[in-house]
């Protein structure tokens, strides 16, 4: 595990070995996310871009039962609440 310091401008230097192993170069855009007490950096190139056309029907399964609109809203509400609790900072 490597230790880094935050500069007065809020910048950190990712160690060279990690940059090389993860193909991070100058100008690479990163996504920073918070999960509990952790900060996570993910290069945007690591996330595959897709379109609605490519993803349409991805969740379809013939044996799946459909939820009513009310149950769907409840399920989405529970997921958002759980995600909010996970990403909330102190």
Check residues 38 and 84 and name the one with the higher pLDDT. Answer: 38
Domains of the chain: 1-46 (2.10.260.10)
Residue % of the chain over a pLDDT of 70: 93
| 72/61: higher pLDDT | 72
pLDDT for the residue numbered 1: 77
Dist. CA 82–CA 84, nearest whole Å: 5
Q: How far is CA 66 from CA 33, 60, 69, 71, in A?
A: 32, 10, 9, 10
Express each pLDDT in 21-61 by its tens digit.
988 899 888 989 998 899 998 888 666 677 777 777 777 77
Average pLDDT score over residue span 63-80: 87
């Amino acid at each position: 595990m490597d230790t880094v310091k935050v500069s007065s401008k809020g910048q950190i230097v990712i160690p060279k070995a990690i940059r090389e192993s993860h193909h991070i170069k100058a100008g690479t855009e990163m996504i920073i996310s918070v999960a509990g007490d952790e900060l996570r950096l993910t290069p945007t190139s690591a996330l595959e871009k897709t379109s609605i056309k490519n993803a349409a029907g991805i969740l379809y399964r013939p044996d799946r039962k459909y939820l009513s609109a009310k149950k769907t809203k409840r399920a989405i509400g529970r997921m958002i609440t759980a995600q909010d609790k996970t990403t909330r900072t102190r």
